[in-house]
Structure 1
Amino acid sequence: MTDDVERALQQPQGSFFMDDAKGFQAIRAKALMKVLEKYEKSDRTSQAENIANGFVSRGDAQNHAEVSTNLKNQTGIDLSAYLRNSPNIAERVNALTAGNIQLIKSIRSQYLDKVQNAVMQAMVRGSLNKDLAAQIKDLGKTTEKRAMFIARDQSSKLNAALTQARHEEVGIKKYMWSASLDERVRESHAEKDGQIFEYVNPPADTGHPGHDFNCRCVQIPVLDDVVNLKSEETE
């Protein structure tokens, strides 16, 4: 999408607003507005769904493997099949997918709104020239950076949410906070390292691990209680 918009800026056409000193090519305002109109009218829901489904599916598979392995190491019980077929976890996966679809669509919508606003302001000022091209290019870079930030943040949130869901599915009510403890970790997160928290009572200032933006902390299950599984599910 950002590439299409920027390509429209690079195509020469008859004079509209020219840079009188340097003779830069005029921006194709008509072509640019056409690109914006095309994306505004197009329904990209299926594309957003494909991206979100792939993202959540990969994260779910990785989380399932990690949580199952960790629980087996601690309990000696292979809970892999049980956790894979849980309807509660499937419901959580569906909710996470729906949330990511909306996030992906919002990135596109906000980018188009900002580009259109920049074009309209430039037309009012009579400055539809290389300065606008640079502004739109910066908007594209900012959008890509935001998309990357959201992807990292959602990876952490996805892992945290599915870890909690799988822990709760087998009766685990508490976890030990494990922080990264490097130069990037927040002080409020580092001070929680090694502390025990209940899933029903998250820390007021940070929430559970993964709740804060770009949080890399994780939950280590605390097995104080007997794991609540039917006997046939533990055999």
Structure 2
Amino acid sequence: MQASPRRDYRLRTNGCPTCLRSSSFTADRFEGVDIKSAFIRAKKLERTYAAQLRKIAGHIGDIVNGFNIQDLPGAQMLQAVMARYSATLTPWAEAVSRRMVTEVAARDERAWVRVSQQMGQALKREIATAPTGEAMRSAMASQVKLITSLPTDAGQRVHDLVIAGISEGRRADAIAEEIARTGEVTKSRATLIARTEVSRTATELTKARAEHIGSTHFIWRTAGDSDVRPSHKKLNGQTFRWDEPPECDPGHHALPGGIWNCRCYPEPIIPEA
């Protein structure tokens, strides 16, 4: 029986002879595997994480509204309360962060399993043994820091509002109205953290596994809807190095999903086995 011709997966267009050619492997399907859909971000996980963080924001709003802050000593007292609340949040923040990062890692692993079905056994084993532990630990530490900053940032906001009100001679009721919005402002920040950090964590784990098996490049993919930023639309479909992320927003270089409110994701270009 005549042997099947060997497929050529080398990336010729970008001068990277060791990478797979995007039109053969990563553009739409590889041996029946939809590569792009494998790495699309999990919106359900993002919503779940956001709901958890908004609970804390709700508690913060209740605490702030429980104070009758009319002067600087009142604002300073609230700051002290928020600092204590932040400290007590740490165990909860660690548990919630661990759950989010673990679920993101599991989803990323499933995506790689789908992709690896058509790869050789050696490459499958390499993917399974990728050193993702450091990326997971880094992500969890970052999440704990962000979660525990919600109360302290809220306390600082109230303090700043009181100082500004005093220096600008604003009416007490106007200052009180802004202080009362602290819970709402914190909820918005909690949603932003969840949306950004789930995507950032997923990207870092995908990158860790990709680089472990020798991948040097990825294709930038957007969510493909009307909410995609114009600057990110221009990046869609372009190929970049993992260690040289493009300027996705003015003055900001980042991987897909690595910047605030970014729902883009990287499509790894896999080296030829």
TM-score, normalised to structure 2, is: 0.63
1:75 partner amino acid: M
What does 1:1-235 correspond to in 2, within 5 Å?
1-9=60-68, 36-42=79-85, 43-44=87-88, 45-72=90-117, 74-75=118-119, 83=127, 85-86=129-130, 88-119=131-162, 128=172, 130-205=173-248, 206-226=253-273
1:67 partner amino acid: W
Q: Secondary structure at the match of 1:176?
A: strand
* Higher relative strand content: 2
Distance (Å, rounded) in 1 between the aligned partners of 2:246 and 2:73: 53
Task: Tell me the residue number matched to 1:13.
Answer: none
Which structure has the bigger radius of gyration? Answer: 1
RMSD: 3.2
1:68 partner amino acid: V
Contact 1:68 1:79 in 2 (8 A): no
- Seen in structure 2, the aligned counterparts of structure 1 residues 119 and 168 have a Cα distance that, compared at 3 Å, is same
- Seen in structure 2, the aligned counterparts of structure 1 residues 46 and 80 have a Cα distance that, compared at 3 Å, is farther
> In terms of mean alpha carbon deviation, does 36-45 or 184-193 score higher?
36-45
- Seen in structure 2, the aligned counterparts of structure 1 residues 192 and 119 have a Cα distance that, compared at 3 Å, is closer
Q: Secondary structure at the match of 1:213?
A: coil
Long gaps (5+) in structure 2: 1-59
- How many equivalent residue pairs? 207
Contact 2:79 2:156 in 1 (8 A): no
Distance (Å, rounded) in 2 between the aligned partners of 1:131 and 1:200: 49
Q: 1:116: Cα distance to partner? A: 3.3
> In terms of mean alpha carbon deviation, does 35-44 or 169-178 score higher?
35-44
1:194 partner amino acid: G
Distance (Å, rounded) in 2 between the aligned partners of 1:156 and 1:131: 38
Distance (Å, rounded) in 2 between the aligned partners of 1:30 and 1:177: 51
1:5 partner amino acid: V
2:216 partner amino acid: K
Contact 2:83 2:151 in 1 (8 A): no
Contact 1:209 1:215 in 2 (8 A): yes
1:164 partner amino acid: K
Q: Secondary structure at the match of 1:75?
A: coil
Distance (Å, rounded) in 2 between the aligned partners of 1:200 and 1:135: 43
Contact 1:173 1:199 in 2 (8 A): yes
Task: Tell me the residue number matched to 1:12.
Answer: none
